């Protein structure tokens, strides 16, 4: 590797030989690092190919991970859809049970209506019988009073 002192000495020699402007231009064109540390076009091409392959592999890996993740999500959604279907089925069954209960309540209401009708009929009969009994009591009382008058 060329030291800065050696570069400066070269510059002074070039300055006296070709002038300060040309010497500065020539020194600027010379690399500051050893030639074995400079990248060649082939080095850059190899680096580009290597990075491209690594990038493509990483992208493919990420794509595979995403596909696996989406597959897991699809499975979860299918499970959720199945649960919703079960819940819908249960609601349908409950609706059927409620319809059955409504039918039973309608039957109970019908029986209550029949009982109310019978009670009304019994009340009517009871009032007629009560009226007949009262009439009978008055008839017996009148007969007793008539009999008392006859024997008195």
Q: 5-39, pLDDT tens digit by residue?
A: 888 999 999 999 999 999 999 988 887 777 677 78
pLDDT for residue 110: 95
What pLDDT is attached to residue 76? Answer: 98
In sequence order, what are the residues at sequence separation of 6 or more whose Cβ sits closer than 8 angstroms to the Cβ of residue 18? 26
Question: Do 30 and 7 form a contact (C-beta atoms < 8 A)?
Answer: yes
Overall pTM surpassing 0.85 (yes/no): no
Measured at the CA of 66, the angle between CA 61 and CA 69, to 5 degrees, comes to 130
Helix axes 20-29, 4-18, angle to 10 degrees: 140
């Amino acid at each position: 590797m060329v030291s800065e002192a050696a570069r400066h000495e070269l510059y002074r020699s070039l300055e006296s030989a070709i002038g300060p402007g040309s010497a500065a231009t020539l020194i600027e064109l010379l690399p500051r690092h050893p030639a074995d540390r400079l990248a060649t076009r082939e080095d850059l091409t190899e680096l580009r190919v290597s990075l491209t392959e690594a990038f493509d592999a990483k992208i493919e890996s990420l794509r595979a991970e995403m596909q696996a993740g989406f597959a897991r999500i699809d499975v979860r959604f299918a499970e959720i859809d199945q649960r919703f279907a079960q819940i819908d089925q249960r609601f349908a069954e409950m609706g059927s049970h409620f319809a059955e209960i409504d039918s039973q309540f309608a039957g109970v209401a019908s029986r209550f209506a029949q009982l109310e009708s019978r009670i009304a009929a019994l009340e009517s009969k009871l009032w007629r019988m009560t009226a007949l009994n009262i009439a009978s009591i008055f008839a017996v009382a009148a007969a007793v009073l008539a009999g008392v008058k006859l024997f008195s």
